Structure formats: C-alpha cells, structure tokens
Amino acid sequence: MMFSRLFGRPKEEANPISTLDKLNETLEMLEKKEKVLQKKIQAEVEKARDFTRAKNKKAAIQCLKRKRLYEVQIEQLGNYQLRIHDQMIMLEGAKATTETVAALRTGASAMKAMQKATNIDDVDKTMDEINEQTENMKQIQEALATPIGAAADFD
C-alpha cells in the first residue's frame, strides 16, 4: 500500500475499443469548441463593424485583436484534431495487426494439431493400400475386358 504511493500504481493496459471511444469523444469536444470559437469570431466581426460605423476605431481594433486570438485557438484545435485522427488511425492499424497475428497463430496451432494426428507411417501405409487397391482394380478391369468365346476368335 505504501509502495504504491511512493512508486505509483502500475499502468492499466488500455482497451483499444474504450481508447477509440475516448478519442472520438475528445474529437467531438474539440469540434464543439471550434464551433463556439467560430461564433465568437463572427460576433467580434459584427461588433467591429458596429464600432467602425460609430467611428470608434479603438474599440473596433480591440474586436479584431480578439478575433485574431480566437483564430489562433481554432488553429491549435485543428492541430489537436489532426493528432487525434493520427492516433486513431495508428490504434486501428495496431488492432488490425494484433487480430491478424492472433488469427495466424490460431491457424498455425490448428495445423500443428492436425499434423500430430497424422503420422507419416500411417500416411505411407495408407498410400501403399491405395496403390495396392488401384492395382487390384486394374487387374479386375483387364480380366473383365478380355474377350471370351466367339469374340476372342476375331483376333
């Protein structure tokens, strides 16, 4: 108990699905913030126009400065969104790789089990039996194909 406070707790392994959900939530939150900032920019532009019409140049300039600050924030949010998209793509790729390796591992295990069930001596014995039966069948077919009686005299 005391050591966990000193050294911290071990990190829990992240579940890819819950991580993707969290990334999606964060992405949506950033998009909402961006929309709010867009509205603030529009409001500042409108205020600046109003102040310009009222010949209050100083207040109009202040509005345009705030507008520029909001634009910088939107640019930052855009960069964050790109990073999250990049992380999501990487995570989805890693998940696909992990699932592929697991499927290949399962296939290799199944093949190994089948090979254990198949003994090479059994295969040789079975092939010998098949060859013997094939040879017997050929002999039977040749015997049946041999003409008898009057048909044999035509040769």
- Band (pLDDT 50/70/90 cuts) for residue 122 is confident
CA atoms lying within 13 Å on the CB side of residue 105: 6
Joined tokens for residue 18: 């819950």
Positions of E strands within the chain: none
Residue type, 107: G
CATH domain 15-114 topology:
Helix Hairpins (1.10.287)
Q: What is the number of residues in the chain?
A: 155
Prediction pTM value: 0.60
Whether the pLDDT of residue 111 is over 70: the answer is yes
Question: Residues 81, 30: contact at Cβ < 8 Å?
Answer: yes
Domain extents in the chain: 15-114
**pLDDT at residue 21, rounded to an integer:** 92
